[in-house]
């Protein structure tokens, strides 16, 4: 069973974002922030459904019933895209901010929280699915999209995925 198939079995459907067909018959995903000011980002050129899962990490309840949260350990990014194509295995943690955006410290904490969520999923797959190499050999990337207005569109480039080097070096 592939890592993506295990994740789709592991994660509740209401915590995922479905792919949609684009006008040119390619896959796209629309990442929506329902809270005001109701903004979204469209990513075109996504892999086929069997090769990707898009997780709405906001559906993962904050662990503030256990942790104090004084160092940002209860935060998490908005979305996590995990893709396994023929030539690339990648995990992309995405934080989206409208308007002026958040502070670098806040965004970094949210991206670190997403990284911890992925580590938790990795342990679940290894322990409960008896898959010792679950989510191994994936490249972890961090993206912060700020100053979102009504609409921001980008492309998922299978050959190159750019991450903010300042954020990546802090994570």
User: pTM, whole model, 2 decimals?
Assistant: 0.85
Which pLDDT score, from 0 to 100, does residue 170 have? Answer: 52
121 lies in which domain range? 3-19+48-145+163-170
Residue 32 belongs to some domain of the structure: no
b/e sequence 58-84, b meaning 16+ C-beta within 10 Å: eebeebeeeeeeeeebbbbbbbbbbbb
Residue 63 lies in a domain: yes
Q: Is residue 154 part of a domain?
A: no
Is the pLDDT reported for residue 130 higher than 90? yes
CB count, 10 Å around CB of 154? 13
Q: Using one digit for the tens of pLDDT, what is the confidence trace for 137-165?
A: 999 999 998 877 665 455 554 443 343 44
Residue 153 falls within a domain, yes or no?
Answer: no
> H/E/C letters for each residue in 51-99?
HEEEEEHHHCCCCCCCCCCCCCCCCCCCEEEEEECCCCEEEEEEEEEEC
Hey, what are 129's tokens?
Answer: 């699915």
Using one digit for the tens of pLDDT, what is the confidence trace for 52-108? 999 999 888 888 889 998 999 999 999 999 999 888 999 999 999 887 777 889 999
What is the predicted pLDDT for the residue at 98? Answer: 80
Tell me whether residue 29 is in a domain. Answer: no
**Looking at residue 161, what is its pLDDT?**
39
pLDDT of residue 151: 54
Structurally, the chain folds into a number of domains equal to 1
């Amino acid at each position: 069973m592939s890592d993506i198939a295990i994740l789709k079995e592991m994660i509740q459907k209401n915590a995922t974002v479905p792919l949609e067909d684009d006008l040119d018959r390619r896959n796209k995903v629309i990442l929506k922030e329902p809270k005001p000011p109701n903004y979204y980002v469209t990513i075109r050129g996504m892999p086929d459904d069997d090769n990707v899962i898009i997780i709405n990490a906001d559906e993962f309840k904050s662990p503030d019933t256990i942790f104090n949260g004084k160092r940002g350990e209860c935060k998490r990014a908005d979305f996590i895209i995990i893709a396994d194509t023929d030539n690339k295995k990648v995990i992309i943690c995405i934080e989206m901010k409208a308007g002026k955006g958040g502070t670098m410290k806040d965004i970094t904490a949210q991206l670190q929280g997403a990284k911890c969520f992925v580590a938790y999923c990795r342990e679940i797959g290894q322990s409960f699915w008896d898959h010792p190499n679950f989510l191994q050999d994936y490249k972890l990337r961090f993206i912060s999209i700020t100053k979102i207005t009504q609409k921001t569109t980008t492309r998922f480039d299978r050959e190159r995925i750019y991450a903010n080097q300042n954020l990546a070096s802090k994570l």
